Amino acid sequence: MKINIYYGGRGLIGDPTLFVLNKIQEVLRELNVSLERYDLYEYKNNIVTLPQTLKDADGVILATTVEWYGIGGWMQQFLDACWLYGDKERLSHVYMCPIVMSTAYGEREAMTNLTMAWEILGGKICTGICGYIADVSELEQGHQYSRIFEKRMEDMYRCINQKLPVLPSSNQAVKQKVSFTQSLNLTPQEAEQLSELASDDLYVQKQKEDIQELASMFKDLLNVKEPDETEFVADFENKINPQPGFRAVYKLVINEMKKPLIVDIDVANVECYYGDIDGVDVEIQVSSKALEDIFNGKSTFQRTFMSGDMKMKGDFKIFRTLDLLYPVGM
């Protein structure tokens, strides 16, 4: 017989759940049970792979500590992984004993949550252990509690050894009706492989980069048009209100265009073209619609910037000069 223990607390000194786990491990070893313990805080980067460890388990103990509210993040992540990647057929034969010690309020609710979660996963439930322990010394000095731990582990051993049946629960019906994993049509082997890939940070990062690259490629194909070498050029060249002694180079990255628009201003002389150049005074990111509104007198460069429809980097004073060079209505 093999029983896996999954501890969802933080491993702090004085955690009453750790004391209980040590006691029940002693009892189970006396019963010649093979034990494997997983402290989830040590597997926080690979929790999604842990459902694989359930394949050869006859029973599991889900143990956590309520420090302020609920079963804790790591235990929730483990149960999420069981739902997404676990072999539901295998889980239906696994008995689970919940253990919840609380230093705050809510140990019974937390144990109920663990029980309901395991039933929804399709597993079987054994009688658990829960209690409010403000100070772990209460357990160390309370020898009468040891008998409770022994009794619960003996009950679990008997359930697993005799394969005692468990009455059906309405929670188990949920798996058949709302199991999102069914739509994936994954075999247990495929689900296991998926969980391994999901825990590989480098693989996940590479997939994200590939998706962004594909999205950018399709955006170029579907939404971006080639500049016609004239759009907005006449606006910048013909509508200028020259400022004595002013000289600056602007680069406008227009969202819908593949190439930026360069506006090189030397007093009244304006050179405007689509291309790229280094060493500009101001770089602006804007949409075609926002530029059209500016040249149609509906907005100004500064107002568009303040509204969030335009981004810029460079000399802000030179940027503000655009509203003098191209005042509304000209």
CB < 8 Å & 24+ apart, contacts of 21-25: 21/61, 21/63, 21/99, 23/146, 23/149, 24/61, 24/99, 24/149, 24/152, 24/153
Predicted TM-score (pTM) of this structure:
0.56
**What's the pLDDT band for 182 if we cut at 50, 70, 90?**
very low
pLDDT in tens, 77-100: 999 999 988 888 899 999 999 999
Q: Quick one: how many helices (H) and strands (E) in the chain?
A: 14, 11
Share of the chain above pLDDT 90, in %: 53
pLDDT in tens, 246-289: 999 999 999 888 889 999 999 989 999 999 888 899 999 999 99
* CATH numeric code, 233-325: 3.30.1050.10
The full set of domain ranges for the chain reads: 2-198, 233-325
Examine the pLDDT at 115 and tell me if it is beyond 90: yes
Taking each helix axis from N to C terminus, what angle separates 73-85 and 107-121, rounded to the nearest 10 degrees? 10
CATH class of 2-198: alpha beta
Share of the chain above pLDDT 70, in %: 85
pLDDT in tens, 135-176: 888 887 767 788 889 999 999 999 999 998 888 777 766 656
Inter-residue contact 248 to 279 (CB < 8 Å): no
CA distance 84 to 252: 46
CA distance 229 to 252: 14
CA distance 157 to 58: 10
